[in-house]
Amino acid sequence: MTAMNAAIIAVGSEMLGTQRVDTNSLSIAAALEKYAVALDRKSVIGDRQSDLVAELRFAARSAGLLIVTGGLGPTEDDMTREALAEAFGLKLEVDRSIIEHLEERFASRGMKMPKVNERQANVFAGQTMLPNRRGTAPGFHLQLVLEEAENPGQSALSSAAAAASAADGRAEKHVFVFPGVPHEMEGMVREYLEPWLAEVSRLSRYRRVLKIAGLGESAVEEKLAPYYVAHKEPLTILASQGQIELHLQADGEEVAARAEIARRELELAEIFGDRLFGFDDDTLEAVIGKMLIERSATVSTAESCTGGLLASRITDIAGSSAYFLGGAVCYTADSKMFLAGVDPQLIQEHGEVSEEVARDLAKGIRRRFKTTYGVGITGIAGPGGGSEAKPVGTVHIAVADSRTIEHRKLFWPMGRIRFKWFSTQSALDLLRLFMLKAGRVTGSERNPP
């Protein structure tokens, strides 16, 4: 089979507003990627037949595979069948077996089928109807041969029939049509689309995501310069919530594709060293939890500007009670002194937002909870409260054990919610690097004085 490209059309005016999001396209895109099908276009079309007809014709001009979801219900605004018939010159006919099935389905629930549901028995003459085992609206697999003059684009298949079609100026297209209800659509994608893709495709796509902390997107790009010289394969860089993701992918037979990804992953690991903290679905809080367990170590937190978000993220991980012994939200000067034992003279001399106070927060909370590590955070989230010397966005973070304290001053000039997240991301990363530097902690040091 030659390379296949695809387009997705989600139908429904509700997805053009603020109340509903097109999640179906994500499920379909995941199935396409699994079989190395290039997705060239995604669109959302409202409940107007003329608009959908235009989009169907436009998408079919370049895509060998078209997946349409939504608009198969019984109401007047469900016009996907009619739009497909108009767009591609198809004929609709009534399938009495579908009406009988719907009547039985309603009867089993003690209900009489409304007359409008008969619309769902309209099927395409000469095409394949796909039963919907989770709902009332069937789907369809349409196999079309379109004139190249009107619908130029690559052939979807390398079969003899497709080759013959291409030879006389026509292109074969495949259109899968599914209902818009997510759990119905997902079931039909698994039952019909994925097996078809597995049959016609000789490729599979494999992916690996590398996650980097403590570097901005431009800094990552600079470090990648030698990698770009050595490799022409695509490498996607994504900035995401205080971290950078590097997306590797390879198409082909599994063993060879995974071996290629592993070689490139090793090169990237050498480039980024300790900045590389995890892979795929890893989060910093999960990585930290695993490291603490491996070291038989514990941690406690003293937070001011982040308001307990650091403790919340740490305890999002199942089993965190094995290493997180407690934390305190030290939002005022008095609470810093009372809860974490911060020296009042440090606050008086340096202010609550300072390196000295962050260090004392980390030391004090470690002593209070008798943990291996203590983390202290203090900063100015804004929008008010800043000064020329300490502008809004300033944050001081410290990590302490029984012997050492590490401090980091950062500047995150952004809204309060993002400021809090980025500050906790930095705190988790500092704790991670602190543990890497300190080496393994023995079980006897689990709860040091």
Could you read off the pLDDT of 305-323 as tens digits, one per residue?
Answer: 999 999 999 999 999 999 9
Q: What is the pLDDT of residue 70?
A: 95
> Domain count of the chain?
3
* pLDDT tens-place string over residues 350-369: 999 999 999 999 999 999 99
How much of the chain is in helix, strand and coil states, percent to nearest 5? 45, 25, 35
Confidence of residue 169 (pLDDT cuts 50, 70, 90): low
What pLDDT shows up at residue 280? 94
Question: Given the structure tokens 């107007």, which residue do they identify?
Answer: 48
Q: Which of 200, 233, 253 lies at the terminal end of a domain, its last residue? A: 200
Distance CA 82, CA 80 (A): 5
Q: Give yes or no: residues 268 and 292 share one domain.
A: no
Q: Which H or E run contains 427?
A: helix 416-438
Do residues 293 and 403 both lie within one domain?
Answer: yes
143 plus 211 within the same structural domain? no
**CATH number of domain containing 93:** 3.40.980.10
Q: What's the rounded Cα separation, in Å, for the pair 336 and 362?
A: 11
394 and 306 co-located in one domain: yes
Q: What angle do CA 372, 352, 350 make, to 5 degrees?
A: 105
pLDDT in tens, 419-431: 999 999 999 999 9
pLDDT beyond 60 at 413: yes
Question: How many whole angstroms from its chain centre is CA 7?
Answer: 20
What amino acid occupies position 113?
M
> Residue 440 — pLDDT band, cuts 50, 70, 90?
very low
Give the domain range for residue 30.
Answer: 5-200
The answer on 164 and 90 residing in a single domain is: yes
The H-or-E segment that residue 277 falls in is strand 276-279
The mean predicted confidence, pLDDT, of the chain is 89
Q: Clarify whether residues 150 and 224 are in a common domain.
A: no
The region, left, alpha or beta by phi > 0 then psi within -120 to 50, assigned to residue 247 is: beta
State residue 24's pLDDT score.
94
- With 0.75 as the threshold, say if the pTM is over it: no
pLDDT the model gives residue 33: 87
> Are residues 244 and 330 located together in one domain of the fold?
no
123 and 89 in one domain?
yes
At 83 the pLDDT is: 96
In terms of domains, do 251 and 357 share one? no
Clarify whether residues 317 and 263 are in a common domain. no
- Residue 341's CB: how many other CB atoms inside 10 A? 15
Is there a single domain that holds both residue 274 and residue 332?
Answer: no
